Amino acid sequence: MTHLRSKRLPISGYASPGHGRVVAAVLGLVAALCLGAVGEAQAVSPAPTARTAPAAPTADRWADQPHGFASLAGGTTGGAGGKVVTVTDQASLAKYAAAEEPYVIRVSGAIAVEPFGSDIVVTSNKTVVGVGDTGEIVHGELHLNPGTSNVIIRNLTIRDSYVEGDWDGKTTDFDAIQMDTVDHVWIDHNRFTHMGDGLLDIRKDSRYITVSYNRFTHHNKAFGIGWTTNVQTEITIDHNWFTGTKQRNPSADNCAYAHLYNNYLSAQVADGDPTWTYGNWSRGRTRMVIENSYYDGVQHPYQADATAELVQRGSILKNVSGRQDAWGTAFEPREFYDYRLDPAAAVPALVKKFSGPQQRIGTTLRVPADYPTVQAAVDAVPDQNAVPVTIAVAPGTYREKVFVPAGKPNLVLLGTGRDRSDTVIVFDTPAAYGGSTGSATVRIAAHDVTARNLTFSNDFDEAAVELNGEQALAMKTTGDRIVFENTAFLGNQDTLMTDSPKLDVINRVYVRDSYIEGDVDFVYGRATTVIERSVIRALSRGSDTNNGYITAASTWTGNPYGFLITRSEIVSDAPDGSYHLGRPWHPGGEPAAVAQVLIRETRLPAAVKSSPWTDMSGFSWKDARFAEYRNFGPGAAVTADRPQMSAADARVHTVADYLRGTDGWAPYARH
């Protein structure tokens, strides 16, 4: 076979001389599919030029990077860049928390600490995060010793070290979290309840602290700051819920800057104490700013010592009594950092919904901020993790090969750019230098992997050299329940292979709103694969008669569902009548690999041959399971060599039928 120079589209924007014709055709497809208004069409159009932003949890109220004072002076990154581990017992938690090297420590389930009230020491450069909303530390304290720096504690419940009868916490020092003379700490989305002394004690000149979206409940002394005569601590306290607590909500002693905003204080313990039942207290020489908080049923909602300063603006007070002190100028928080200030009236609903541990908060590994390469981030993912880990890849071109092994399921690869072309993983290996599998830029062997808003490319230039083995995969999958959304696959021969470990293992792959290009057998393999609402570009190799084959399925004969291309568009600038829809691939001459391909309700270009299926390696296409259903466009004319599926059969060859399997998998349902 003579390989002429590829007409691959440039990565940036996928522009080409035929770009206008392609876009016009896609707009026709949008109209034909009744996608509705322009805004909706832009969001779901499979056009290769569509600038589709990655899905974002717009209803969520959190980010994976700290804000406020913890974001200043170099920021707080916790265990970023270190190995990710999942712990389920005290020994493992204590081991990794006290280690010298950075770790991201995921706490799964409840860990009961013994002896009762004991400390778990957390050293510098650690992230301790609950898995979903299940992570709990019971009867124990997280303790940060003097000199500790760069710690993130998120999404945990720390509870129940209370000693019966010791309401004042005078006989024990069993806090939920205690820190002395530390810096750069982020305490976020935790629930603290029913402990032996304080829930959160931030002591002795600790600096650059942010405490956000936590719940403080069922306790006397909730949250204290200070225990020092020095005026050094800088602390941001926002969107926390103090309910069923008595005092220190918080109290701030000798803080250089204490910024409290959008906090909710409700259902304060009412024991008749005229002094030590209170809300916020600016003590010593603290400079405190309170903004848009909500106080409901609170005695002394905010107060200040004569030596302190307190500025309050925009808060709502309901059923309150006692002191409401405000004097001095304190400071202006926006001179230090930007922040989102919610209306005080919205605070109760927001804080009730979003404070405390959240099911959807997990570990996000950022490339290159936390890990220099995509592979380094994959390597950091814990083995056999049960809750999805997101690898968020910043815009850029990453020239590397990536392998997701079978032992790292539940992974999300997310490009964070505006467009899928902003984030590219690319390499240039042909099969001649490592076999077909070895050529793949990205290989996914794990189950339950999703990729969004990314481009996968193998930019080996098949026209520049003559090799016996020019297959060059952009992507190979051998896992089950693989999803590609708003992704692009760029290559020539064998661009996208969806496979399984062996012939009679049925894996499933769902490709939606994506773009695939190539020339020879560039969508192939034995996995059950649905390509929906996508653009497939058949590249011209310069021939007037045969420019290539779009599919090469090797479906197991016992599997009724191979490839389904539906509600999509095939485009090409190849000459009319010069492209095959596919041919049957029998790897190694395997007779039980009987291709099944259905192309339905898809626009076909004039480049498609009137007899679009062809033989391969001595196997007749007529023995395979090739069919079309209700295709349209200039290449969709029905001829004697184009099997058409009946309406009755089409009813059981839907996206749901292909993907359902025995577990009812329905990745399309989210759309």
Per-residue pLDDT, averaged over 97-104, amounts to 97
Least Cα distance to 276 among 322, 345, 320, 231 occurs for: 322
Q: Which 3-state string (H, E, C) describes 106-140?
A: EECCEEECCCCCCEEECCCCEEEEECCCCCEEECC
In whole numbers, what is the pLDDT of the chain averaged over residues?
Answer: 90
Max intra-chain CA distance, the chain:
95
Given a cut of 60, is residue 317 above it in pLDDT?
Answer: yes
Q: Which helix (H) or strand (E) holds 23?
A: helix 19-32
Q: From the CB of residue 56, how many other CB atoms can be counted at a distance below 10 Å?
A: 9
Per-residue pLDDT, averaged over 484-499, amounts to 98
- Please report the pLDDT score of residue 60 as a whole number: 66
169 pLDDT tier (thresholds 50, 70, 90): confident
Given a cut of 90, is residue 345 above it in pLDDT?
Answer: yes
Given a cut of 60, is residue 36 above it in pLDDT?
Answer: no
- DSSP state letters, 141-189: EEEE-TT-EEEEEES-EEE--PPTT-TT--S----SEEEES-EEEEEES
- Residue written as token pair 């204290």: 224
- Please report the pLDDT score of residue 7 as a whole number: 36
- Please report the pLDDT score of residue 485 as a whole number: 98
Least Cα distance to 477 among 514, 450, 444, 455 occurs for: 444
- Please report the pLDDT score of residue 167 as a whole number: 76
- Please report the pLDDT score of residue 666 as a whole number: 98
Q: How far apart are CA 21 and CA 438, in angstroms?
A: 36
Strand partners, 536: 516, 570
- Please report the pLDDT score of residue 8 as a whole number: 38
Percentage of the chain beyond pLDDT 70 is 91
- Residue written as token pair 């059981």: 652
- Please report the pLDDT score of residue 163 as a whole number: 86
Q: How far apart are CA 442 and CA 239, in angstroms?
A: 41
- Please report the pLDDT score of residue 25 as a whole number: 38
Q: Summarize pLDDT for 319-343 with one digit per residue, the tens.
A: 999 999 999 999 999 999 999 999 9
- Please report the pLDDT score of residue 535 as a whole number: 98
**Within its chain, how far is the Cα of 75 from the centroid?**
22
- Please report the pLDDT score of residue 1 as a whole number: 25
Q: Which two tokens stand for residue 81?
A: 């860049």
Least Cα distance to 69 among 264, 284, 237, 313 occurs for: 237
No. of H helices and E strands in the chain? 8, 50
Q: How far apart are CA 206 and CA 226, in angstroms?
A: 8
Q: What angle do CA 472, 476, 482 make, to 5 degrees?
A: 150
Q: Which helix (H) or strand (E) holds 660?
A: helix 655-660
R_g of the chain, CA atoms, integer Å = 30
Q: Summarize pLDDT for 257-312 with one digit per residue, the tens.
A: 999 999 999 999 999 999 999 999 999 999 999 999 999 999 999 999 999 999 99
Catalytic residue among 61, 191, 207, 248: 248
Instruction: Confirm if 113 and 87 have CB atoms less than 8 A apart.
Output: no
Q: How far apart are CA 458 and CA 493, in angstroms?
A: 10
Backbone angles phi, psi at 478, to 5 degrees: -130, 15
Cα within 13 Å of Cα(358), Cβ side: 21
468 pLDDT tier (thresholds 50, 70, 90): confident
Per-residue pLDDT, averaged over 651-657, amounts to 98
- Please report the pLDDT score of residue 359 as a whole number: 86
Per-residue pLDDT, averaged over 430-446, amounts to 95
40 pLDDT tier (thresholds 50, 70, 90): very low
Report the length, in residues, of the chain. Answer: 671
164 pLDDT tier (thresholds 50, 70, 90): confident
Q: How far apart are CA 504 and CA 525, in angstroms?
A: 13
Instruction: Confirm if 318 and 295 have CB atoms less than 8 A apart.
Output: yes
- Please report the pLDDT score of residue 466 as a whole number: 83
Q: Is 248 a catalytic residue?
A: yes
Per-residue pLDDT, averaged over 492-501, amounts to 97
Per-residue pLDDT, averaged over 606-632, amounts to 98
Per-residue pLDDT, averaged over 10-24, amounts to 36
DSSP code of residue 56: -
Q: Summarize pLDDT for 527-586 with one digit per residue, the tens.
A: 999 999 999 999 999 999 999 999 999 999 999 999 999 999 999 999 999 999 999 999
Task: Tell me the CA distances in angstroms from 154 to 74, 212, 236, one per residue in order.
Answer: 20, 10, 16
Q: From the CB of residue 378, how many other CB atoms can be counted at a distance below 10 Å?
A: 23
27 pLDDT tier (thresholds 50, 70, 90): very low
Given a cut of 50, is residue 671 above it in pLDDT?
Answer: yes
